[in-house]
Structures are given as structure tokens and as C-alpha cells.
Amino acid sequence: MMNKLRAEEIKEHFGDKPFSGDDLYHFYTKYEPDLKKTTYRWRVYTLKNNGLLNVLKNGVYSMESKKDFEPAIDNKLFHLFAKVKNRFPYMHMAIWETSWLNNYMVHQPFSNSVIL
């Protein structure tokens, strides 16, 4: 079953670069020229469910896994959280800085805000 999916060969062929669904279909047809589209779609579905294939956008895939967002928490933010938690121990809260979003913004703000 797993040899039909050819996960290792896909990783070797495409590496960590994104590739389209058509590229993946042509990759499979090199090994199986009479591959049906339904079989191909089933293989893509299985690869996605097993965590071997990641969807970047509709019809674009990558074998590289997505990295979890882990922002850096500086001491100022940590101490502010500790003060508020000490003062209000039963309150559930979240604290974050707007600077965490700078990598995802085109227009960069001049100031940084802490949101509690």
C-alpha cells in the first residue's frame, strides 16, 4: 500500500519545494501510465491524512511540514503577565504583542502594542 503512494520518491523528486497537483499527477504517471484520476485523488487524500503531504493552497502541495507559530516572549511581557495573574488569580487571560505579526505584514507599524 505505502509503496503505491511513493512518499519517499515524491520527497526525493520534489524536495521541500512546492509543487502543483498536475506535477504530482505527472510524477505518478511515470510509474503507472494508465493511472486513473480517481486513483490519483485517493492517493493525495491518503498522503494528506497521513501527514505526508501538506496543502499550501488549492492545488499546491509540499512535502515539508508546516512549522508551528512560536512567538518569542520577552521578559517585559512575562513580568506583566505575572503581575496581572498575581493580582487577579482566577482570571483567564491571553497576552500578546503586535510585533509578533510583523513577519506577516506588508506595511510595518512604527509602534508596538501589548494586548491583554
pLDDT tens track for 3-44: 788 989 999 999 889 999 999 999 999 999 999 999 999 999
pTM for the full predicted model:
0.59
Q: Where in the chain is the domain with CATH 1.10.10?
A: 2-62
Q: Does domain 2-62 have CATH number 1.10.287?
A: no
pLDDT tens track for 56-102: 899 999 988 777 788 888 899 999 999 999 999 999 999 999 988 88
Hey, is 34 helix, strand or coil? coil
Minimum mean pLDDT among 6-10, 42-46, 47-51, 104-108: which range? 104-108
Our CA angle for 6, 9, 11, nearest 5°, is 110
pLDDT tens track for 59-71: 999 988 777 788 8
Over 70: is that where the pLDDT of 1 sits?
Answer: no
Q: Which of 82, 79, 76, 83 lies closest to 112, judged by CA? A: 76
Say what the pLDDT of residue 78 is: 93
Hey, is 56 helix, strand or coil? strand
Over 70: is that where the pLDDT of 2 sits?
Answer: no
DSSP-derived pairing of the beta strands 19-20 and 60-62 = antiparallel
| Dihedral of alpha carbons 46, 50, 54, 55, sign | positive
CA atoms within 13 A on the CB side of 72: 5
